[in-house]
Amino acid sequence: MDEEQQFPAPLVHPLGWPAPGTSTTVYRGPLLGVMPDGAEVTFPGELALTWELKPLATWSPADPNLDARLIDDVPGPAGGTEFLTANSPMPLDHPGESRVRNLRAHTQLGDGADLDRVVFFLGTGLQSARWDRIQSPDDPHPVRGRLTIPFAEWIITIDQSSDEAMFKRLRRQNGGWAFTHLCEIVRADGANFDASVALPIVQGIATAFTFTVGREINAALTTGTYKGEIRWAYFGKPGFTGWSTPWSWSDTQRDAEQLRELLPLWLAKWRDPDHRHTLSLAAGYHFVANRTEPVDSGLATAISALLLLAEHTDPGQFAADPSVSQQVRSFLSRCSIDVQPRPNYPELEKAGIDYFAAELAKPRSGKKPWLKVPPDSVDSVVYARNVVVHPKARERSTVANRVWHQAWALSTEWLTLGILHWLGYTGTYASRTLAGVRWHGAVEQVPWAP
């Protein structure tokens, strides 16, 4: 047998791989309709899942004598959006129209009490260069990638789609989407489980990928099975919202080793409700700060996230610190993150020095013990942030664009490292603030690594 054919076969979703505009039936049975007079009526029909770039959700009656009616005009940017439509015959003894609403967001179908497998799609866009190899039995080319991650009593398997070309084509054409990976969750001991236990893990994995790749990613077409039969499905938010090319701390040549370490640490925090709340907020701040235009808003968001982490990880020290600068500095010090001025960020350093010199020249400067010359990077970044959040200061500001950009780049990298430190991650990351040209495979060890 050819060596390529000896690789394990890839995961298969029970509903197959979706493509834009395709429709897949996920439910057949009674549907609830609402008559014009408000009366409710039950009638047979089916629910179909449709994937669109800019969707319109329509109700299509099976009786050709009845007109199809628009249920919802769903506006929004191009992005993988999952929604359900009803295809149902309207009972002749109940004239009027049937409407099936509120099926797009956080809808569950079926019984999730006794499952042996949960699968879902992810639109990560990762190239998966060094993942383990898998091979479709009926397709000798290409060989795809697999990542297998044990976590507590679970085994998480993530497979790459063979249709990477579709993803790249849609990305080039209109910032579109495609689902590039399929994920499976099973119990390591083979036991059955309840969907309510698995769903937080699904959401934690999606949030971890949002943090890793720098765009909002949600689990799509989450489906639970028992012995191959679909018993439960969950429909949440769009697969991911739009597309951009933000900076990412992960590296295409190292993402396998990075994700193998990150995901168990992330899910361990995610299990604790208090940690989950903070981690979800921090990841959301990170996503917004990394994508925000103009960058000054991203700077303000990153500092807010650093303050959140500072308070959560050491509330006593946070309360004792007298200023935002000191609160951020104390947190970064606990993370072993260097805050000395960066030689490759001269405009930011000069802006901080000039501001502090002007403040020291004012009367009553002795009442401001946080003033010192020369300031470190925290002082300079927080100064730029204060100009953003205080309208009067912004009106008087002559801060150059390069200062905004340097402060934003530094604060977002601090936020990335702060989250990684809190998780207990000790691997590599791709820095955005080092001098010189960056390339694939050029990574740094986190500052606190043993």
237 and 352 together in one domain: no
pLDDT tens for the chain, 450 residues: list them: 444 457 888 888 887 765 555 666 666 666 655 566 667 666 666 666 665 543 322 333 333 333 333 223 333 333 344 545 554 444 434 444 343 433 445 667 778 899 999 999 887 767 666 788 887 766 666 667 899 999 999 999 999 876 555 555 555 554 445 577 889 999 999 999 999 999 999 999 999 999 998 877 888 878 999 998 888 888 766 555 544 556 789 887 888 899 999 999 999 999 999 999 999 999 999 988 987 666 788 899 999 999 999 999 999 998 888 889 999 999 999 999 999 998 889 999 998 888 888 877 777 656 666 666 678 999 999 988 988 887 666 555 667 788 888 999 999 999 999 999 999 999 999 888 876 656 667 889 999 999
Which pLDDT does position 46 carry in this prediction?
66
What span, in angstroms and rounded, lies between the C-alpha atoms of 277 and 43?
41
3-state DSSP assignment of residue 75: coil
Residue 159: what are its φ and ψ, rounded to 5°?
Answer: -115, 145
283 and 242 together in one domain: no
Q: What does 156-209 look like in DSSP terms, one character per residue?
A: EEEEE-S-HHHHHHHHHHHS-----EEEEEEETT---B-HHHHHHHHHHHHHHH
Which pLDDT does position 181 carry in this prediction?
85
Query: Is 383 contained in some domain?
Result: yes
Measured CA distances, 11 to 129, 145, 182, 183, 200 (Å): 18, 11, 7, 8, 21
Query: Is 151 contained in some domain?
Result: yes
Which pLDDT does position 41 carry in this prediction?
65
Full domain range(s) for residue 238: 108-249
Among 194, 227, 249, the domain boundary falls at 249
390 and 311 together in one domain: yes
Among 199, 230, 249, the domain boundary falls at 249
Query: Is 8 contained in some domain?
Result: no
117 and 227 together in one domain: yes
242 and 305 together in one domain: no
Q: Which helix (H) or strand (E) holds 141?
A: none
232 and 288 together in one domain: no
Residue 294: what are its φ and ψ, rounded to 5°?
Answer: -75, 165
Query: Is 30 contained in some domain?
Result: no
244 and 365 together in one domain: no
334 and 380 together in one domain: yes
CB neighbours (10 Å) of residue 231? 18
Residue with tokens 């009656």: 61
Among 249, 268, 289, the domain boundary falls at 249
Query: Is 274 contained in some domain?
Result: no
The alpha carbon of residue 74 and the mean position of all alpha carbons in its chain are separated, in whole angstroms, by 22
Query: Is 77 contained in some domain?
Result: no
Of the candidates 399, 431, 393, 439, the one whose C-alpha atom is nearest the C-alpha of residue 412 is 431
Which pLDDT does position 92 carry in this prediction?
38
The alpha carbon of residue 203 and the mean position of all alpha carbons in its chain are separated, in whole angstroms, by 9
pTM of the complete model: 0.81
120 and 231 together in one domain: yes
**Can the peptide bond before residue 294 be classed as cis, meaning omega within 30 degrees of 0?**
yes
236 and 308 together in one domain: no
Which pLDDT does position 361 carry in this prediction?
79
123 and 173 together in one domain: yes
303 and 235 together in one domain: no
Which pLDDT does position 45 carry in this prediction?
65
Query: Is 384 contained in some domain?
Result: yes
Query: Is 136 contained in some domain?
Result: yes
434-438 own/partner pairs: CB under 8 Å, 24+ apart: 434/344, 435/343, 435/344
Count structural domains, the chain. 2
What span, in angstroms and rounded, lies between the C-alpha atoms of 253 and 131?
10
Is-contact 43 88, C-beta < 8 A? yes
Which pLDDT does position 374 carry in this prediction?
76
